[in-house]
Structure 1
Amino acid sequence: MQRLYSIFPQGLPGVGLVLLRMSIILRWFADLGPQPSAWQWIATAVLIPAIALGLVTSAASLALLVSIAIAGLDRGSTSMADVCEGLQAIALILLGPGAYSFDARLFGRRSFELTKR
């Protein structure tokens, strides 16, 4: 996982990535509608918590991007909101999860000290 991202940004850039993850989630819930389909329930139960926590962020964002495309195909057209959410998911795939995520805790940079014997 570390090879996918050169850094896990901290500070304001890290907070920006948290806000990006939250905006994707809020947009997803806004698009669910009164009667979500079975695949939308699955995506909501699996992908949304993964994105919220920053766990396997790239894979979850890619799967969400596919879900957004499927939702557009089910409706017969894509809205500007779908396009914006898709672009947000692509941005998250490219930028990574940030320092405030489980990915950073599990796969972040580590430093080792070598001691002489």
Structure 2
Amino acid sequence: MTLRIAVSLQLLIESGCGGIAPWWLVLLELAVVLALAFGVLTPVAALASAGFQVTCLLHADWPHAASLMTATVTAIALVLLGAGAYSLDARLFGRRRLVVPPDPERQ
């Protein structure tokens, strides 16, 4: 839950790439932030957030680039880890558990 909130806050802070963004881009960012905050289609929303951060990174100066790189890595971590237990994804699709079978050679 906290990773989702961190990625959504980073996207809000970096919205518009430091300049004035068109209205449709602001609405798209707001939709991604809300999806991340509530945990709806989290891997897709986090991937969109990472893509937006990389796009901003291409136009950023060095002091601003450090925070964008951190935001990108955090979003990629969220893509790989998933939404977590306290999300709408977990409620809609169920929680996933990895069960490792016992090693047959150890018995």
TM-score (norm 1): 0.68
Instruction: Tell me if structure 2 keeps the 8 A contact 1:58–1:93.
Output: yes
Amino acid at match of 1:81: S
Q: How does 1:17-32 map to 2 (within 5 A)?
A: 18-32=1-15
Count, aligned residues: 93
Question: Unpaired segments of 5 or more residues in structure 1?
Answer: 1-17, 111-117
Q: Compare relative contact order (CA 8 Å, sep 6+) and give the higher one, 1 or 2.
A: 1
- Tell me the residue number matched to 1:37: 21
TM-score (norm 2): 0.74
Moved over 6 A (4+): none
State yes or no: 1:64 paired with 2:49. Answer: yes
Query: What is the CA deviation profile of residues 26-77 of structure 1, one whole-angstrom value per residue up to 9, with x for unaligned ones?
Result: 2222223675412640332210000000000001111111111111224466
Instruction: Tell me if structure 2 keeps the 8 A contact 1:65–1:86.
Output: yes
Q: How does 1:1-117 map to 2 (within 5 A)?
A: 18-32=1-15, 35-38=19-22, 40-75=25-60, 79-109=65-95
Kindly report the root-mean-square deviation, in angstroms, between the aligned alpha carbons of the 2 structures.
2.3
Instruction: Tell me if structure 2 keeps the 8 A contact 1:43–1:67.
Output: no
Question: Unpaired segments of 5 or more residues in structure 2?
Answer: 97-107
Aligned residues: percent identity? 34
